[in-house]
Amino acid sequence: MIRGRVSGKLWSSRRVPSLPVGALLEIEIDTGGKLIAFDPLGCAPGEAVLVVQGSVAASYFSGVSAPIDALVIGSIDEEKKSKT
Amino acid sequence: MIRGRVSGKLWSSRRVPSLPVGALLEIEIDTGGKLIAFDPLGCAPGEAVLVVQGSVAASYFSGVSAPIDALVIGSIDEEKKSKT
Amino acid sequence: MIRGRVSGKLWSSRRVPSLPVGALLEIEIDTGGKLIAFDPLGCAPGEAVLVVQGSVAASYFSGVSAPIDALVIGSIDEEKKSKT
Amino acid sequence: MIRGRVSGKLWSSRRVPSLPVGALLEIEIDTGGKLIAFDPLGCAPGEAVLVVQGSVAASYFSGVSAPIDALVIGSIDEEKKSKT
Amino acid sequence: MIRGRVSGKLWSSRRVPSLPVGALLEIEIDTGGKLIAFDPLGCAPGEAVLVVQGSVAASYFSGVSAPIDALVIGSIDEEKKSKT
């Protein structure tokens, strides 16, 4: 997985029907680069997140074949990390 | 997923039979680089698009085993984004 | 998918038994780098080709589990492209 | 697989329910870069580890569909390596 | 697939039980970088090899779910290549 930070949101009205309804966030990856991830958690701009990539991101959507290759799987606890 | 912009189209007459009939677009990726993606939406040159990569791109083609690893899954609403 | 050009061929006599018999081409990727792809089309040196990567490349070989992660899926029509 | 070294740990309280309970380690990759991997072995900070990436990392979790794309599969024997 | 050359070997005594028993080789990739691959062929240091990556590397191990994402699938015939 990779760490990143929410830097934006995007909308796509004209889309393939199998794209699940939900937030598509722009994530700035900590090690450089950007990607767009589906966010089932409702993360806010600036929030640190954990993103999974590849076919396992799609397997989150059970029963359907979702064309999703990046998924926010957690919000990173920033306070706890600095204490450790 | 990644953001990109349609920069061209390509044709391949001599191809494997399992390659689906449809548009093969050249996409300039926003963070650099280029790729070729299958486009089921009929996107135009210059249009901003959302592209999914890997085996989930192939799962869009139900019932067949398509050799596709990049798929345009949406046209990005550029006006809405600037308003947000 | 990615665009590339055939730059060589390689032979491997000592190989895993599940590697399919056929041409293994060295491809120079248009955006930089090289890879080795299985070619079911009989492409010639210098020919522009379209290459698919990842597990979908293996699914071309139906009924067997081929250890192939890159496959030439088409020869690119170079004349048509310049006319468009 | 890639070699890396454990450089930290992270916590995520707000997470998707399918994320398995267990350690999420930050790994510094030997050839550069960082990633977050699930660690079933209890590795310590500074330990050299072997990490597998992609969908096979998720297949470690049998019976469930875990959104994991990087898994620590072994601790590297550093003494033995230097002797060889 | 990618071309590389065997540059070392590693041992991991503390490992997940599903990691198959066999050689784990360090491979220097021809285009730069390094990776660790499972070697079922018994390749020697300095030998030129062909490596497959991703989930198809794991499918080599039939009947089990092996956490392997890189596999040596052939030793490259270096003399034949120079003659062609």
**Residues D58, C55: Cα–Cα separation, whole Å:** 15
pTM tops 0.90: yes
Helix (H, G, I), strand (E, B) or coil at C35: strand
Candidate from B26, B37, B58 with C-beta closest to C56: B58
Q: Is A36 part of the contact surface with chain B (CB cutoff 8 Å)?
A: yes
Does E83 score more than 70 pLDDT?
no
- Of A35-49, C70-84, D4-18, least confident by mean pLDDT is C70-84
Distance CA D19, CA D15 (A): 7
pLDDT at residue D62, as a whole number: 87
pLDDT (0 to 100) of residue D84:
45
> CB distance E73–C57 less than 8 Å?
no
Q: What are phi and psi of B14, to 5 degrees?
A: -95, 110
C-chain CB neighbours of B22 within 8 Å are none
Interchain CB distance below 8 Å, A15 and B71: no
* Overall average pLDDT of the C7-21 stretch: 96
Count of CB atoms situated within 10 Å of the CB of B82:
7
8 Å CB contact of D60 and E55: no
Residue found under tokens 């009924």 = C63
Chains in contact with chain C (at least 3 beta-carbon pairs closer than 8 A): B, E
Residue B8 CB burial class (10 angstroms; 0-12, 13-18, ≥19): middle
Q: D24 forms bridges with which residues in the sheet?
A: D10, D38
- Residue contact E31–C34, C-beta within 8 A: yes
| H-assigned helices in chain C | 55-58, 78-83
Flag if B74 and A16 touch (Cβ within 8 Å): yes
Q: Is C24 on the interface with E (CB under 8 A)?
A: yes
Inter-residue contact B80 to A16 (CB < 8 Å): no
Helix, strand, coil content of chain E in percent (nearest 5): 10, 45, 45
Q: Does A28 touch chain D (CB under 8 A)?
A: no
Which of the two residues, A72 and D65, has the higher pLDDT score? A72
> What local confidence, expressed as pLDDT, does residue D80 receive?
46
Cβ contact B73–A36 (<8 Å): no
In sequence order, the β-bridge partners of residue B29 are: B4
Rg (CA), chain C: 13
Neighbours of B, requiring at least 3 CB pairs below 8 Å, are: A, C
Q: Which residue of A has its CA nearest to D9?
A: A81
How does pLDDT run across E38-78, given as a tens digit for each residue?
999 999 999 999 999 999 999 999 888 999 999 999 999 98
Q: Which residues of A3-40 are buried (b: 16+ CB within 10 A; e: fewer)?
A: bbbbeebbbbeebbebbeeebbbbbebeeeebbbbbbb
Q: How far is C10 from chain B (nearest CA, A)?
A: 21
Nearest CA to CA, how far is D2 from chain A (Å)? 14
Alpha carbon distance D66, D55 (integer Å) = 10
Determine the Cα–Cα distance for residues D39 and B39; give it in Å rounded to an integer: 39
**Is the predicted pLDDT of residue B17 greater than 80, yes or no?**
yes
Instruction: List the pLDDT tens digit at each of the 84 positions of chain A.
Output: 999 999 999 999 999 999 999 999 999 999 999 999 999 999 999 999 999 999 999 999 988 899 999 999 999 998 744 444
Q: Do B76 and A11 touch (CB under 8 A)?
A: yes
